Every structure is written in C-alpha cells, then in structure tokens.
Amino acid sequence: MSKQSAALQPHRRLFADRKRNPDGKRVAVLHTAVRMFLERSYGRTSMDDVATQLNITKPALYHYFRNKEEILVEIYRLGTDLIDEMLDSIEADEKPGLDKVADFIAGYIQIVTGDFGRAVIRLDDGELSKAGRKLVRGRKREIDHRLRAIIEGGIGDGSIASCDAKIASFLLAGAIHGMAAWYEPAGPLKLSAITNQYVRLLTGGLAADGLRELAEPPFAFKGNAHIHG
C-alpha cells in the first residue's frame, strides 16, 4: 500500500472491537473500504490495501465478502438506501412540489457529503460486472425517476414553472453531485451556507413566478467542441 491518510486510521480499532459481532465486521470493512475507494479509487485500491488497513489478512477479508465486487456492491447498496429513505420521507409529506424540491436539495446534499452517498456518485460503476452494473444502475435510475415525479408534481400543482422534468432532474442532481467532488468538511464553506444558496438558486430557477426573459437569445458557442482530426 502506498499512502494512507490519517483519516483512515480509526477503523483498525473498529474491526478488533467487533470480534463477536460478525455483521458489524462486515460493516467495518465497508467503512474502511469506502474511504479508501473514495481516496484512491476502487481500481487502485487492492484487497491487500484494505486488509492491511483493517489489520487483518487478505483471506480474512474473503471470509466476509465473496470478492472485491461484493464490497463495492454493498457500498452502493448502503448509499442508495440512504437516498431512498430520504425520498420516502419527502414523498410522504404534503407540500407544494417546489418545497419538496427544496427539501430534496437539502437532503441530498446531506447524503452526498457523507462517505456512502459520495460513493454512489463518485465510484465508477463501470468496474462492476454486468450483473452488478445492472443492479446499481437500476437503483440510480429509480432515484432519478422519483425526483422527476416530484418535479412533475410541482408542475402539476403550479408551484413549478412548466419545463421538461427529465432535464430539470438531471440538472438538479448534477449540480449536487458536483459537491461530492469538491466539498470538504474542513473547508472554508459551511455546509449550511452552501445548502442555502443551492436551494435559493435551484428553486429560484424552477419557480413558477421567478422566470425572466434573457436580453438576448441563448448564445451559440462558435468554437468546435468536437475536434476532428
């Protein structure tokens, strides 16, 4: 293993503490693994790295997980579970669609700045086998559909201006996914400030009563983004 950030140390203990809590050991592995995968990517993190980090041997890892992919899939599962829970709670509310969107933004930011949420967004599901990829992508698609439904609800109830919900949901999700890449808890930007501004900017654009016409028609960039030999 090449490098190991100080942040990764705690779980060594964690693992030892759980000697008689086998399920807890699986979770400990996942916690260590998700951090390492986020820090160095799945592909560049070897099973040896993970085992060393946990102070166990490699075959011990294989005791808890059939293979490397199972670890990754499990991480995805935990992460998407978090998102599903949040969506459940939002769908249960009785609110105008725009307010639900605001709630989604705030909730999604919470999740996406945690390890497992970040993993869902940042880890490359191309590393998975066909089966695993299908599973993970299905869950991602489902999440997108639920967000889309919320937006459509808002258009229906008049709180959100008429627009293509598919595009809007991609925009929303994308803007927040970006955070998974740059947000640092120790950084200068407070999570609450970011959340506030995200909500204002994103709902501001969606709001039925907040549109305005641009002075000029949308600019078409004349350069050629698609380089041809």
Partner DNA sequence: AATGAATGAGAGTTCATTCAT
Partner DNA sequence: CATGAATGAACTCTCATTCAT
Query: How long is the chain?
Result: 229
SS3 of 185, please?
A: coil
Q: According to CB under 7 A, which residues from 25 to 44 bind DNA? A: 25, 44
How many CB atoms are closer than 10 A to CB 98? Answer: 24
Q: Minimal CA–CA distance to 70: which of 138, 129, 121? A: 129
CB of 22 to DNA, least distance (A): 3
Select the binding partner of residue 68 from DNA, its own copies, none (C-beta < 5 to 8 A, by kind).
Answer: DNA
Residue 99's nearest CA partner among 158, 27, 11, 32 is: 158
Select from 5, 41, 67, 196 the one that contacts DNA (CB under 7 A). Answer: 67
Shortest separation between residue 135's beta carbon and its own copies, angstroms: 18
Tally Cβ neighbours within 10 Å of residue 196.
Answer: 13
How far is 82 from 191, CA to CA, in rounded Å?
Answer: 18
Partner from its own copies, DNA, none binding residue 205, C-beta < 5-8 Å depending on class:
its own copies
Helix 130-156, helix 165-182: angle, nearest 10: 120
Q: Which of residues 9 and 196 has its CB atom nearest to its own copies in the complex?
A: 196
The item of its own copies, DNA, none sharing an interface with residue 221, based on CB under 5 to 8 Å by kind, is its own copies
| Closest listed residue to residue 185, CA positions, set 103, 80, 112, 84 | 112
Q: Which does 48 bind (CB under 5 to 8 A by kind): DNA, its own copies, none?
A: DNA
Distance of CA 200 to the CA centre of its chain: 21
Interface pick for DNA out of 10, 22, 174, 204 (rule CB under 7 A)? 22
Answer yes or no whether residue 73 interacts with DNA by CB under 7 A. Answer: no
Among residues 46, 149, 177, 194, the one that binds DNA under rule CB under 7 A: 46
Question: What are phi and psi for residue 207, nearest 5 degrees?
Answer: -55, 140
Query: Binders of DNA: how many residues, by CB under 7 A?
Result: 21
Which of its own copies, DNA, none does residue 60 bind (CB under 5 to 8 Å by kind)? Answer: DNA
CB of 134 to DNA, least distance (A): 18
Which residues form the interface with DNA (CB under 7 A)? Answer: 19, 22, 25, 44-49, 56-60, 62-64, 66-69
